[in-house]
């Protein structure tokens, strides 16, 4: 590591939005309990374009984006004994910190050793780099709540989070009835490939009526809704059986944007069913004061361990819908498609180094 800087990709002005820009950024030095990752592969998430547009973490620009990390350990901080320089790893950078996207080559980013695992040999760097943020979202939503669940509805089973959630429900927890839905044919195909027993066509079928028919009119035990749609939230809340549970990705109903808050009927719908409302919010772990975080990260640490274990066992496999080279132009265009809902199904991988396919 002869160079002391790299060409990071992110934003240099708060709330500038897309397109992103490239800028020189110092290669960071890991502190206690941290590792420096030489990033060969990453992926696109809605988080990145939302940070570029809103800077809701309150960062001082410039800010490198790209929080999914797959590559090699380039340096370790004090107290880190679980990793050595040269170890192949997959990790997630702190979402209120700096990411690892880079123009024209490998990037560099700091990750907590606790949120870093060795890359399973079954995964290429490209595949590993698509997982952390989306896998942790699905893991938070499901793993503590699926014991005894006999039926689950996961709309958007062809999405980045959705196709992983379907796999966790079916291939890890063996939920007997996994129902999904999508409007696009390729999304429905991926949801079915991921393990959904029934995949409904949002364009042609009446979802509430179909779910009622599949559950003898009772509704499903559990819903995980990662669609970020208030209209969708209202519909899926009505599909939960009495005493069931409804889990949402992010902050929840009435707050699908960070610039406004509206009155949502979801809480009342669930209350009428005596159903539980749950939130799977990865970002909430990075909203607490830094000094208080260590004790709160246990769920994310468990998620990273399961990421390594379940992918090694072949129970969870990310679907890569497209692979982009690490340039500001291609990443900005990919994020714009993600925002518009026209991106390929599954995950969009970003290749930053020559070894990303290994």
Q: Which of 316, 352, 350 is nearest to 108 (CA)?
A: 352
Give the list of residues 6+ apart from residue 326 with CB closer than 8 angstroms, or none.
Answer: 9, 101, 102, 103, 104, 105, 107, 350, 351, 352
Residue 190 has pLDDT above 90, yes or no: yes
Residue 251 pLDDT = 81
Q: CB of 264 within 8 A of CB of 235?
A: no
- Secondary structure tally for the chain: helices H, strands E: 10, 16
Q: Would the pLDDT of 55 be above 70?
A: yes
| Residue 294 banded pLDDT, cuts 50, 70, 90 | low
Could you tell me which residues come within 8 angstroms of residue 195 by beta carbon, excluding any fewer than 6 positions away? Answer: 166, 167, 169, 170, 171, 178
How many Cβ atoms are within 10 Å of 357's Cβ, its own excluded?
Answer: 14
How far is the C-alpha of 335 from the C-alpha of 44, rounded, in Å?
7
Q: What is the largest CA-CA distance in the chain?
A: 65
Query: In a 3-state reduction of DSSP, which class is residue 252?
Result: coil
Q: Which residues pair with 25 in a beta bridge?
A: 6
Give pLDDT, residue 290: 62
Confidence of residue 296 (pLDDT cuts 50, 70, 90): confident
- Around Cβ 274, how many Cβ atoms within 10 Å? 11
Put the strands of the sheet holding 63-64 in their side by side order: 21-26, 5-11, 63-64
What number of CA atoms fall less than 13 Å from residue 93's CA on the CB side? 31
The pLDDT value recorded for residue 258 is 66
Burial class of residue 119, CB neighbours in 10 A (0-12, 13-18, 19+): buried
Residue 168 tokens read as 């966790």
Percent of the chain with pLDDT over 90: 88
Supply the pLDDT for residue 289.
66
Please write the tens of the pLDDT for every residue from 68-116.
999 999 999 999 999 999 999 999 999 999 999 999 899 999 999 999 9
Residue 327, H or E segment: none
pLDDT of residue 295: 63
Q: Looking at 68-77, 113-122, 313-322, 346-355, which range is the least confident one?
A: 346-355
Tokens of 89: 């790893």
Which residues face 151 on adjacent strands? Answer: 177
pLDDT at residue 293, rounded to an integer: 60
DSSP single-letter state for residue 102: B
CA atoms of 66 and 8, how far apart (whole Å)? 10
Residue 224's DSSP bridge partners are 247
Q: What is the number of alpha carbons within 13 Å of residue 126 lying toward its C-beta?
A: 19
First to last CA, the chain: 21
Entry pTM: 0.95
Say if residue 356's pLDDT is above 60.
no
String of b and e for 296-305 (b: at least 16 CB within 10 Å)?
ebeebbebbe
Size of the chain in residues = 358
Q: What is the mean pLDDT of the chain?
A: 94
Q: How confident is the model at residue 16 (pLDDT cuts 50, 70, 90)?
A: very high
Q: Where are the beta strands (DSSP E) in the chain?
A: 5-11, 21-26, 34-43, 63-64, 68-76, 88-92, 107-112, 116-118, 151-155, 177-182, 198-201, 220-225, 240-249, 276-280, 320-325, 347-351
* 274, two tokens: 């005596």
Q: Say if strands 21-26 and 88-92 run parallel, antiparallel, or are unpaired.
A: unpaired
Q: How many CA atoms lie within 13 A of 161 on its CB side?
A: 27
The pLDDT value given to residue 291: 59
């Amino acid at each position: 590591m002869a160079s002391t800087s790299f060409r990071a990709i992110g934003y240099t002005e708060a709330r500038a939005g897309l397109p992103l820009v490239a800028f020189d950024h110092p290669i960071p030095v890991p502190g206690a309990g941290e590792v420096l990752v030489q990033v060969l592969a990453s992926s696109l998430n809605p988080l990145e374009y939302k940070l570029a547009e809103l800077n809701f973490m309150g960062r001082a620009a410039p800010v490198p984006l790209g929080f999914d990390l797959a590559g090699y350990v380039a340096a370790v901080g004090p107290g880190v004994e679980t990793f050595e320089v040269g170890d192949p790893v997959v990790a997630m950078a702190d979402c209120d910190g700096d990411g690892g996207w880079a123009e024209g080559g490998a990037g560099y980013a700091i990750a907590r050793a606790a949120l870093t695992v060795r890359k399973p040999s079954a995964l290429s760097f490209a595949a590993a780099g698509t997982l952390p943020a989306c896998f942790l979202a699905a893991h938070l939503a499901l793993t503590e709540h699926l014991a005894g669940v006999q039926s689950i509805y996961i709309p958007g089973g062809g999405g980045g989070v959705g196709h992983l959630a379907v796999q966790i429900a079916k291939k890890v927890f063996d939920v007997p009835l996994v129902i999904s839905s999508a409007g696009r044919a390729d999304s429905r195909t991926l949801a079915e490939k991921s393990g959904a027993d029934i995949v409904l066509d949002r364009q042609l079928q009446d979802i509430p009526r179909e779910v009622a028919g599949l559950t003898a009119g009772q509704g499903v035990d559990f819903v995980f809704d990662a669609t970020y749609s208030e209209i969708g939230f209202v519909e899926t809340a009505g599909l939960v059986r009495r005493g069931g549970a409804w889990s949402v990705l992010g902050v929840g109903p009435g707050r699908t944007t960070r610039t406004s808050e509206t009155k949502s009927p979801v809480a009342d719908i669930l209350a009428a069913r005596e159903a539980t409302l749950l939130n799977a919010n990865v970002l909430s772990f990075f909203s607490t004061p830094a000094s208080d975080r260590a004790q709160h990260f246990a769920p994310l640490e468990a998620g990273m361990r399961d990421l390594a274990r379940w992918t090694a066992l072949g129970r969870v496999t990310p679907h890569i819908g497209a692979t982009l080279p690490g340039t500001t132009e291609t990443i900005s265009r990919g994020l714009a498609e993600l925002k518009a809902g026209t991106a390929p199904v599954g995950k969009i991988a970003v290749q930053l180094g020559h070894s990303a396919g290994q």
